[in-house]
Amino acid sequence: MPSTSFPVPSKFPLGPQAAAFGSGETLGPAPPASGTMKSAEEEHYSYAPPSIGSALPLPTGHPSLPAACHDLQTAAAGISAMPAASHSAGYGAAVDSASSGYFLSAGGIRPDGAPALESPRIEITSYLGLHHNSGQFFHDVEVEDVIPSAKRSPSTATLSLPGLEAYRDPACLSPASSLSSRSCNSEASSYESNYSYPYTSPQTSPWQSPCVSPKTTDPEEGFPRGLGACTLLGSPRHSPCTSPCASVTEDSWLGARSSRPASPCNKRKHSLNGRAPCSPRHSPTPSPHGSPRASVTGDTWLGSTTQYTSSAIVAAINALSTDGSLDPGDGVPVKSRKTGLEHSPSAALKVEPAGEDLGPTPPASDFPPEDFSFQHIRKGGFCDQYLSVPQHPYQWAKPKSLAPAPYLSPSLPALDWQLPSHSGPYELRIEVQPKSHHRAHYETEGSRGAVKASAGGHPVVQLHGYLESEPLTLQLFIGTADDRLLRPHAFYQVHRITGKTVSTTSHEAVLCSTKVLEIPLLPENNMRATIDCAGILKLRNSDIELRKGETDIGRKNTRVRLVFRVHIPQPSGRTLSLQVASNPIECSQRSAQELPLVEKQSADSYPVMGGKKMVLSGHNFLQDSKVIFVEKAPDGHHVWEMEAKTDRDLCKPNSLVVEIPPFRNQRITSPVQVSFYVCNGKRKRSQHQHFTYLPANVPVIKTEPSDDYEPAAACGPASQGLSPLPRPYYSQQLAAPPDPGSCLVAGFPLCPQRSAVMPSPRSASPKLHDLSSAVYSKGIAGPAHCHLGLAQPAGEVPAAQDVPRPLAVHPGSPQQPPAVLQPQVSPRPSSSCPLGGQRTLCPDSPPAPPPPATQEPPCLQPCSPAHLAAMGRQQHPLPKVHRDASPTARPRSLPEVREDSGRNLALIPVTVKREPEDLDQLYLDD
């Protein structure tokens, strides 16, 4: 791991990010240690040390590097960095370090000869790196300090897309994945499996493996997730190249191990002949993504922190990247890359001989991480060949994205943070929703085009209230559509569409292993953008699930949402981040044809007595369709379930009339949020839609279905509770506080909600975030780590899990002492949640915020601290009750202590249905 040592970013001025990195990475710091692990905190905090900086060469990049190089560097750096950041968590310090080292080295190498090097490789990697990691990151950070964030255009540069290709290595491209799929995936596994890699880092493994073991193949694995980091990819990991080897390996490997030998493989092989042999990589793509979360959780990410960091980092990197215009990946359009890979490269790859060639290549293990990577490079192991493939000369030259220089701060909120859709005068709104079905394409397939609007055309997003003349950047990524908090989807990635039919400029970036499409929002267009450049890429379940830390299941997890974000620089120097998610989009082929889907509902709320007719609009409704209303406990158990009456005569494929059933508790004093879904059969259920029961004496509030709904004041409990979001469960947009400042508190210690439960590191979702890095970092650090890598049983920390994240100002705010953030760190949300603090956040919030009755999924209303607090306290009890209930006993009455308002409890017989499954499972159903 020697190598490891160096890269460390020199400066980590950044708070969070830095922390993340630093820590995560540890790398750098890690003194090389290879292996030495630091406590999360340490890492976070520690990383910053200047010493490190100095120590680190960051050569990468840094400053010294020419602009041109910059990109590369970035990439490289990113890579290195990333790992650390992101992954470190996951794997353990050791790993991280390793990885870091790994990358670093790579990076380091480059610096020198960088360019020379197979840039190709770099590119690939780079894309990852670019964003997030990279040493640059560090740099960026520094820079950032110096430079007004606002002015950077970074993202552009960085992102520039390379297409992301980055995602997949070229090598990977191959469908081959088949093998890989497993193997790869497994990468992690393999990793686990015992192969002893010198490095622990997962990432590393891949490489090594290449030759060595099948595992290797997996480039992907490492990749995505950890990589998420992506970052790395670039480098070493990139293994993709490796993969090639892998391929070699694969074969052997396969034979040996492949669990599923044939299947895909066969096909794939078949394809291989023609195509990409690399199979192993098949996952090539796998994009980076590994689900972020997973990643986070997983090895890769350090911890939530990481994410936090990562995002910040990314941002920073982006900013930096700005400088560099080059993007490794850039120039190459994804597809082109793909193609390229497939063809010639593939041949090469396929030949695998490489493998042989590689064969000779010492197992990764043999080399020190750094060396390892280098060696590959030097030797030109398969990688070289691979790389050598002259794919995109222009790659490097790729022009910067057209997008306006966005304002990017290194400290931008992590992608899994819950952000409001509007704040003060600003509102980010989806004017035209995407079609409810869009068949995502696999890497092995060609693009299936851009997501379209149901009425034809494409989705449209507009930022209202922005009167400045500076263009902004709209970020788009694929998010989840389940009941939990919105977060990047582990199994889907946004895919940039280009061509004659695309009128919107965009470029891809990879943040924390999540592809992000950046689209310019121009004042001349009224800050409105038509999203005709976004397709959806499906990653193989096997590739993602095998990653360490991945907690989500791909099977039946085929719904996504388009998530849009915009970061608005404020006069105060802070950045206001807004986010809005689209209606859910069913991405599978089958589902689109069979599963019922509710797009709109005529009512979002109604008094408990029910009886009103509600019209549901959507698809695949049948006369036999049933509409089931469900009240869930925080832990996902069904507290109440009722089949609503439907009017068969009025049932049409696209509309269904249902009578709102009376709520079980007619005495509620505050709105209770429940959900309902349309069921066409055993396994054919629509996604849950939100519905709010109002107290009998409360005047009915007209609700608008869908996206348009605008919560009054998000902050207040009232809004939360009441807010009848027309949106489906999934809609998790946070309502923004009426006034930007109202809910923000500098210090805001937020509940670590997610962090506790979710793998993902990101913990709090800040609404405004301060650019200042310092503080930021700290906060991050703590929390992040907590979870990463760990998958939590849904049941365990019910409340915490989905508890909405409060909006908050970035920890980074100068005012805030890092300490404040700490709460986030705490592993357990429940305990950790600083209620008091939260409350402080929203002054407006009513004193006794009655959280919506128990049912409400925490996730829905993240905003109010009170709410969170309440959840933390109140919800636990319920779960218990439920658990006690026998699973089978479906409707069963138990004295329930229900708290409508949070204060008054009424004992009411409750029908309890025990739901053994987690939310996830529920979602998956069956």
Q: Which is nearer to DNA, 110 or 458 (CB)?
A: 458
Q: Which is nearer to DNA, 42 or 917 (CB)?
A: 917
Spatial contact of 850 and 669, defined as CB atoms under 8 Å apart? yes
Q: Which stretch binds DNA (CB under 7 A): 333-341, 603-611, 852-860, 867-875?
A: 333-341
Which of 321, 260, 297 is closest to 73 using CA atoms?
321
Stretch that binds DNA, among 194-202, 261-269, 359-367, 635-643 (CB under 7 A): 261-269
For 192, counting Cβ atoms within 10 Å of its Cβ (0-12 exposed, 13-18 middle, 19+ buried), the class is middle
Nearest Cα to 536, choosing from 445, 427, 661? 445
| The pair of three-digit structure tokens given for residue 406, joined into one six-digit string | 């966005």
422 half-sphere exposure, CB direction, 13 A CA radius: 21
Which of these segments, 130-138, 255-263, 415-423, 870-878, binds DNA (CB under 7 A)?
Answer: 255-263
Does 445 help bind DNA (rule: CB under 7 A)? yes
Of 133-141, 361-369, 552-560, 689-697, the segment contacting DNA by CB under 7 A is 552-560
Q: Does 815 bind DNA (CB under 7 A)?
A: no
Contact 580, 463 (CB under 8 A): no
Q: Which region, judged by CB under 7 A, interacts with DNA, from 9-17, 100-108, 446-454, 604-612? A: 446-454
- Sole binder of DNA in the list 39, 54, 196, 266 (CB under 7 A): 266
Tokens of 29: 């710091």
- Who's near 292: CB < 8 A, 6+ residues apart? 225, 228, 301, 307, 415, 416, 487, 488, 490, 512, 513, 514, 760
Closest distance between DNA and the C-beta of residue 390, in Å? Answer: 16
Choice between 188 and 320, CB closer to DNA? 188
152, 448, 458, 805: which one binds DNA (CB under 7 A): 448
Query: What x-and-dash track marks residues 733-752 binding DNA by CB under 7 A?
Result: --------------------
Nearer to DNA, 196 or 593 (CB): 593
Q: Which residues contact 896 (CB under 8 A, 6 or more apart)?
A: 639, 878, 881, 907, 908, 909, 910, 912
How many residues bind DNA, per CB under 7 A?
54
- From residue 593, alpha-carbon distances to 332, 433, 588 in Å are 35, 20, 9
Q: Which is nearer to DNA, 590 or 612 (CB)?
A: 590
One residue of 590, 648, 890, 903 binding DNA per CB under 7 A = 590
Nearer to DNA, 322 or 557 (CB): 557
- Estimate to the nearest angstrom the gap between the alpha carbon of 738 and the chain centroid: 27
Q: How many CB atoms lie within 10 A of CB 270?
A: 12
Nearest approach, Cβ of 270 to DNA (angstroms)?
A: 5
Number of H helices, E strands in the chain: 40, 27
- Sole window of 155-163, 443-451, 459-467, 901-909 interacting with DNA (rule: CB under 7 A): 443-451
Compute the distance between CA of residue 589 and CA of residue 692 in angstroms, rounded to an integer: 32
Scan residues 512-541 and list those touching DNA (CB under 7 A).
535, 538, 540-541
Q: Do 292 and 490 touch, CB atoms closer than 8 A?
A: yes
Q: Does 282 bind DNA (CB under 7 A)?
A: yes
Query: Taking the complex as a whole, how short is the minimal distance between the CB of residue 18 and DNA, in angstroms?
Result: 36
Nearer to DNA, 452 or 883 (CB): 452
496 binds DNA per the rule CB under 7 A: no
CA 305, CA 311: separation in Å to the nearest integer? Answer: 10
C-alpha pair distances (Å), 900 with each of 368, 483, 693, 852: 60, 21, 11, 7
178 binds DNA (CB under 7 A): yes
Q: Does residue 168 touch DNA according to CB under 7 A?
A: no
Select the span of 243-251, 335-343, 565-573, 886-894 touching DNA (CB under 7 A). Answer: 335-343
554 binding DNA? (CB under 7 A): yes
Q: Which stretch binds DNA (CB under 7 A): 385-393, 442-450, 759-767, 845-853?
A: 442-450
The CA angle 620-626-631, to the nearest 5 degrees, is 115
> Taking a C-beta distance cutoff of 8 angstroms, is the pair 471, 574 a contact?
no
Pick from 150, 193, 252, 441: which binds DNA (CB under 7 A)? 441
**Contact (Cβ atoms closer than 8 angstroms) between residue 579 and residue 485:** no
Cβ-based nearer residue to DNA, 8 or 562: 562
Does 558 engage in binding with DNA (CB under 7 A)?
yes
Residue 619 in contact with DNA, rule: CB under 7 A: no
Least separation in angstroms between CB 562 and DNA: 15
Q: Quick one: 441 or 645, whose CB is closer to DNA? A: 441
Is residue 588 near DNA by the rule CB under 7 A?
A: yes
268 touching DNA, by CB under 7 A: yes
Phi, psi angle pair for 826, to nearest 5° = -50, 135
Q: Where are the alpha helices (DSSP H) in 654-769?
A: 717-722, 753-757
Closer to DNA at the Cβ: 681 or 909?
A: 681
Task: Return the residue of 26, 100, 339, 375 that touches DNA, per CB under 7 A.
Answer: 339
Between the CA of residue 481 and those of 3, 215, 633, what are the distances in Å? 41, 32, 19
The distance of Cα 394 from the centroid of its chain, to the nearest Å, equals 30
Q: How many residues does this entry show for the chain?
A: 926
CB 441 to DNA: min, Å:
6
Separation CA 557–CA 356 (nearest Å): 39
Q: Which of 193, 252, 260, 399 binds DNA (CB under 7 A)?
A: 260
List b or e across 272-281, with b for residues whose CB sees 16 or more CB atoms inside 10 angstroms: beebbbbbbb
Residue selected from 177, 235, 322, 826 as contacting DNA according to rule CB under 7 A:
177
- 449 scored as a contact of DNA (CB under 7 A): yes
The only residue of 63, 66, 252, 335 in contact with DNA, by rule CB under 7 A: 335
**Alpha-carbon separation of residue 17 from 42, 305, 489, 789 (angstroms):** 13, 8, 22, 18
CB of 278 to DNA, least distance (A): 12
Decide if residue 584 touches DNA (CB under 7 A): no
Rule CB under 7 A: choose which of 542, 579, 601, 689 binds DNA: 542
- Residue 290 is a binding residue for DNA (CB under 7 A): no
Interaction between residue 398 and DNA (CB under 7 A)? no
Cβ-based neighbour number of residue 629 at 10 Å: 24
Is 624 one of the binding residues for DNA (CB under 7 A)? no
Cα–Cα dist 565/728, whole Å: 19
- 141 vs 188, beta carbon nearer DNA: 188
CB 492 → DNA: shortest distance, Å?
Answer: 10
**Do residues 398 and 331 touch, judged by C-beta distance below 8 A?**
yes
Q: Which stretch binds DNA (CB under 7 A): 139-147, 472-480, 497-505, 603-611?
A: 497-505
Q: Confirm or reject binding of residue 683 to DNA (CB under 7 A).
A: yes
Site string for DNA, 190-229 (x = CB under 7 A): ----------------------------------------
Say how far apart CA 271 and CA 210 lie, in whole Å: 21
User: Which DSSP category does 766 fall into?
Assistant: E
For residue 570, with 0-12 CB atoms within 10 Å meaning exposed, 13-18 middle and 19 or more buried, which class applies? middle
- Kindly state whether residue 270 participates in binding DNA, applying the rule CB under 7 A: yes
Decide: is 255 part of the binding site for DNA (CB under 7 A): no
Closest distance of CB 210 from DNA, Å: 19
In the complex, which residues of this chain contact DNA (CB under 7 A)? 175, 177-178, 181, 259-271, 275, 282, 335-336, 339, 439, 441-450, 452, 497, 499, 501, 535, 538, 540-542, 554-558, 588-591, 682-683, 926
